[in-house]
């Protein structure tokens, strides 16, 4: 890859952050993770209480990228056919015709995904994993890139349905969205209290640009020792006692799946690329480890009783597992 080409990609990525700043105050961390998902073909799950600009951020990002966008509001009465489409009978021609659902887009915002029951959540499985949808007896390939950005309210909130483990594992990262700082909240209040605030943004990337940046990230080098380090981190979630994590072993019911290794590798490459490097450092892996693993470690009731979180366990694993030369 020519340096001038790579520099152009880095400038485009910085321009995305600048354009996002015209509408969204702060939340650079969330935007960074959304871009990692976009450029590595990974779906992102955003969790946070209502009002933290999750939907606004995804909506604004879709405008900056020249991609087809669909927003699906998940509700308790939503049906799988409302998501993927269905067969409609044409009385004039006496034939069944396919009516494609909103899933046929490049970017899907699954808003408040845990407001719908399991049968609707499961309808996303084939689309997210196989990049295809089956309606009737016909299978339709989805356009690339295909990215599902799902938002959910904390499970403790009333009227929510916890996502099944198989569904959660399809997401590359689960990103916790936190409250803004005092300065950011002051800026949010001033902007949104202004009734004439429009927040117009410009298109930065095309579908072809996204594909080229994806290729550039895929070409980032990762050493064998760091590949082995990723595998050791994943195995530490499955057999923590073997890594000297005996206390944590009492809390973990199931460890991370092989998808975690793949996602951690891809995300670390993206972080390295964003930092204008063509090689991965251990810090890149550690930076995204919590986002990649926090939803893939299933804790038992004892952990819940003791107030232990997956993120705390991940921090202990990162401090315990070392890199072998």
> Going residue by residue through the chain (325 aa), what tens digit of pLDDT does each one get?
457 888 888 888 888 888 888 877 777 888 889 899 989 988 998 887 777 777 788 888 888 887 888 888 888 888 888 888 877 777 777 777 777 878 888 888 888 887 877 777 777 777 887 788 877 777 888 888 888 888 887 765 555 677 777 778 889 999 888 888 888 888 888 877 776 666 677 888 888 888 888 999 999 999 999 999 999 999 989 888 888 888 888 888 888 888 999 999 999 999 999 998 888 999 999 999 999 998 888 888 888 888 888 888 888 888 888 887 6
CB contact at 8 A, 124 and 109: no
Environment class of 253 (CB within 10 Å of its CB; exposed 0-12, middle 13-18, buried 19+): exposed
pLDDT at 93: 75
pLDDT at 163: 76
Show the domains of the chain with their CATH numbers: 3-212 (3.40.50.300), 221-320 (1.10.8.80)
**What tokens appear for 117 in the block?**
């029951």
C-alpha pair distances (Å), 244 with each of 82, 101, 231, 239:
49, 50, 16, 10
d(CA 98, CA 242): 54
The dihedrals phi and psi of 160, each to the nearest 5 degrees, come to: -115, 150
d(CA 272, CA 260): 18
């Amino acid at each position: 890859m020519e340096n001038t080409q790579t520099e152009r990609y880095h400038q485009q990525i910085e321009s995305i952050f600048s354009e996002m700043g015209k509408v969204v105050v702060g939340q650079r961390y969330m935007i960074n993770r959304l871009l990692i998902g976009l450029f590595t073909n990974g779906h992102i799950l955003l969790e946070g209480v209502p009002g933290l600009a999750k939907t606004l951020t995804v909506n604004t990002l879709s405008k900056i990228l020249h991609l087809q966008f669909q927003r699906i509001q998940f509700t308790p009465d939503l049906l799988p056919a409302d998501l993927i489409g269905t067969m409609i009978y044409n009385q004039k021609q006496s034939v069944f015709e396919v009516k494609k659902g909103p899933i046929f887009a490049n970017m899907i915002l699954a808003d408040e995904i845990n407001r719908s029951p399991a049968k609707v959540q499961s309808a996303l499985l084939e689309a997210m994993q196989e990049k295809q949808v089956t309606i009737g007896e016909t299978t339709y390939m989805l356009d690339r890139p295909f990215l599902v950005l799902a938002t959910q309210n904390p499970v403790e909130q009333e009227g929510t349905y916890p996502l099944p483990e198989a569904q959660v594992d399809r997401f590359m990262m689960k990103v916790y969205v936190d409250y803004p700082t005092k300065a950011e909240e002051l800026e949010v209040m001033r902007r949104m209290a202004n009734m004439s605030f429009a927040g117009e943004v410009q298109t930065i990337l095309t579908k072809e640009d996204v594909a080229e940046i994806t290729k550039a990230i895929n070409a980032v080098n990762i050493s064998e020792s760091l590949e082995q380090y990723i595998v050791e981190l994943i195995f530490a979630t499955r057999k923590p006692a073997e890594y000297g994590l005996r206390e944590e072993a009492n809390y973990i019911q199931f460890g991370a799946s092989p998808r975690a290794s793949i996602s951690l590798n891809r995300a670390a490459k993206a972080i390295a690329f964003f930092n204008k490097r063509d090689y991965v450092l251990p810090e890149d892996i550690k930076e995204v480890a919590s986002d990649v693993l926090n939803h893939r470690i299933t804790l038992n009731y004892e952990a819940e009783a003791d107030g232990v979180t997956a993120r705390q366990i991940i921090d202990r694993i990162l401090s315990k597992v070392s890199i072998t030369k």
